[in-house]
Amino acid sequence: MTGHDGNRVDDINRLLGGYIDDGAVGVSLAFSQRDGETVAVTSGLSDRARGLPVSPTQLFKIGSCTKTFTVAALLKLAESGAVDLGAPISRWFPDLPGATAISVRQLINHRGGLPEFEYDIPMTPDRIWTPAELVDLAFQVGGQTVPGGPAVYNNTGYVLAGMLIEQLTGQSLGAYVRREVLEPLGLENTWSPATESFPEEHMVRGYYHRPPPAADAGAGIAAGAEMWRMDGVLPYSDALQDSSDSFPFTAAYACGDMVSTPSDMVAFMRALFGGRLLADGMFREMSEGRVAVSFPGTRMRETGAGLFQSSYAGRLVYGHQGSIPGYVTVMQHEPISGLTMAMTSNVGSGYRMSFYASGLHEVLDRAIGIILDG
């Protein structure tokens, strides 16, 4: 490592240390530029009760960054001719309301008009959900709109995409993702716990901030409402609480169950953008045809399929972010410089605008500035 590179790592170490000083528990970051080596940096604790530090190979829940892996797996099937992205999903889900008007493509570009379940799913830590139960819940609690309209963030489409992969392959989603995505890329620290066993002893603990809601909090997330139904699981408290086991992996499935390391996520994104995972036409399904989105507490500006265009450090980047109780993750690629970066934290909050839910983004801004601007 050159002196300049060493200085950058020192600066990033100080940056991550400041994030911990501000109230985060642990953080893990990895980055590479073009074909350069991947550099991993960590700070803080993986387990507060035992005082254990974070290491680069420890697993974090990556939440909705799972969606990018799910789309890559589905597009491998499209690439082989096993599925037509323009086909109506009624072929596989004949009893789903409105299925004849929803295409396979619309399951993964947030334009299927499907109802949403995330904000209504009960946090029952030991419950084992089936994917079909998640879809049923969405139709019980949410409203359906006309497909092809404005992009509205939707987890239900990704659950159906996972179910479709399983129907087409006869394998569990985790087994197919492993065979077609993880193993070819040599990713040894990424798992799909909803459908495969994984080394739980390598997981960091997650910590959740759940203060009493403000008196003037509105009903919407942007107005201060809590994202997840935590009543009966964690009480209101100004102190961080261990939320590692509050959300069962099966409740996230194809839209958010995966665990990984920043180094593995960097390798995945490099392969995706470098043309080593999908043919060019299939990759364009993910990265082009974008439409505008507006999600409070995020940097996401436009959505493709499994990839968002976002803004960090004054640059347009492409990737995803994810949050699940006690964890926040961001993985991004900046095509002009060739910088690929992933960052995970084991704090979170249902109040999306709080430091614990969104503080990671400012740290990533500054990290990108350190790497690219010196």
Terminal-residue alpha carbon distance, the chain: 15
pLDDT over threshold 90, residue 213: no
Per-residue pLDDT reduced to its tens digit, 71-103: 999 999 999 999 999 999 999 999 999 999 999
**Residue 105 or 231, more confident:** 105
Split into its structural domains, the chain has a count of 2
Distances (CA, A) of 355 to 30, 352, 364, 370: 21, 8, 13, 21
Per-residue pLDDT reduced to its tens digit, 21-41: 999 999 999 999 988 999 999
Same domain, 220 and 323: yes
For residue 9, give its domain range. 3-65+188-373
Per-residue pLDDT reduced to its tens digit, 129-161: 999 999 999 999 999 999 999 999 999 999 999
Distances (CA, A) of 366 to 14, 353, 374: 11, 19, 11
Mean pLDDT on 108-122: 95
Same domain, 146 and 168: yes
Burial zone of 206 (CB within 10 Å; 0-12 exposed, 13-18 middle, 19+ buried): buried
Same domain, 160 and 13: no
Same domain, 195 and 274: yes
Same domain, 148 and 218: no
Contact criterion met (CB below 8 Å) for 61 and 206: yes
CA triple 215-361-342, angle to 5 deg? 140
Choice among 5-9, 110-114, 366-370 with the minimum mean pLDDT: 5-9
Same domain, 308 and 169: no
CA-CA distance, 77 to 71, in Å (whole number)? Answer: 10
Mean pLDDT on 293-321: 90
pLDDT for the residue numbered 295: 73
Mean pLDDT on 211-233: 77
pLDDT over threshold 60, residue 209: yes
pLDDT over threshold 60, residue 301: yes
Which domain-ending residue is among 181, 196, 224? 181
Percent residues over pLDDT 70 in the chain? 96
Which domain-ending residue is among 136, 163, 181? 181
